[in-house]
Amino acid sequence: MSQAFIAILMGSDSDLPIMKASLAVLRSLEVSFEVKISSAHRTPSYTHDYVVDADKRGAVAFICAAGMAAHLAGAVAAATTKPVIGVPIESSLDGLDALLSTVQMPGGIPVATVAIGKAGAKNAAYLAAQIMAVADAELATRIIADRAASCAAVIEKDQALQEMLKNGEV
Ligand code: RP5
């Protein structure tokens, strides 16, 4: 059987600065991934062919990032029954155009839509990893450890704040 991986698509290379947050999360969790620049509008056949091929090769879930009239996640969801996560990218109208284009899917063709921008890019990767972890106990353990580290980091920041308050530094 081929190795399980997460397939990431973005509509333009201009989405990459935001989507680097997804790559960083997947790398930190040791999750295999592929990344493609492919557009629902500019390269429709290229997008469709990649999704069908990636699906056959073992893609567990798809992350799709696009801005403006963001139809990439919907187009991908139409070509696969694997989970599709949409990341709305802010390039105009504060990203609201992309959010609504991504989230407002017709019944039967779901796209799990995350927040606009960098937080969404991060959460898309966590969500994809969590989907993969349902059938991968070692990955699930790494995700739990990551969550614990995040919790510890916030508590450490709070302790530093309490210390600064006590010393009259803030
Ligand atoms: C979308 O249009 C892309 O995902 C990008 O967010 C936006 C602008 O694309 P470029 O004109 O920068 O290539 O399809």
pLDDT at residue 7, as a whole number = 99
Q: What are the pocket residues of ligand 1 if the criterion is a CB atom closer than 6 Å to any ligand atom? A: 11-12, 14-15, 39, 66-68, 89, 91
Of 1.10.3720.10, 3.40.50.300, 3.40.50.10540, 3.40.50.1970, the CATH number of 5-135 is 3.40.50.1970
pLDDT at residue 2, as a whole number = 63
pTM: 0.96
Q: Cβ–Cβ contacts within 10 Å for residue 103, how many?
A: 16
User: pLDDT tens for residues 91-135?
Assistant: 999 999 999 999 999 999 999 999 999 999 999 999 999 999 999
Q: For residue 14, give the ligand 1 atom closest to its CA.
A: 12
Check if the beta carbon of residue 101 is closer than 8 Å to that of residue 71.
yes
pLDDT at residue 1, as a whole number = 44
Beta partners for residue 104, in sequence order: none
Residue 144 corresponds to which tokens in the numbers above?
């739990």
The best mutation among 12, 37, 94, 118 to test binding of ligand 1, ranked by most ligand atoms within 8 Å of the C-beta, falls on 12
What values do phi and psi take at 113, rounded to 5?
-95, 130
Q: For residue 11, give the ligand 1 atom closest to its CA.
A: 4
CA 52/CA 29 separation, integer angstroms:
26
- Residue 108 CA to ligand 1 centre (angstroms): 27
CA 118/CA 98 separation, integer angstroms:
14
pLDDT at residue 69, as a whole number = 97
pLDDT at residue 121, as a whole number = 98
Residue 17 corresponds to which tokens in the numbers above?
């600065």
pLDDT at residue 51, as a whole number = 98
Which residue stretches of the chain have pLDDT < 70? 1-2
Per-domain residue ranges of the chain: 5-135, 137-170
CA 62/CA 39 separation, integer angstroms:
14
Check if the beta carbon of residue 116 is closer than 8 Å to that of residue 89.
yes
Check if the beta carbon of residue 73 is closer than 8 Å to that of residue 80.
no
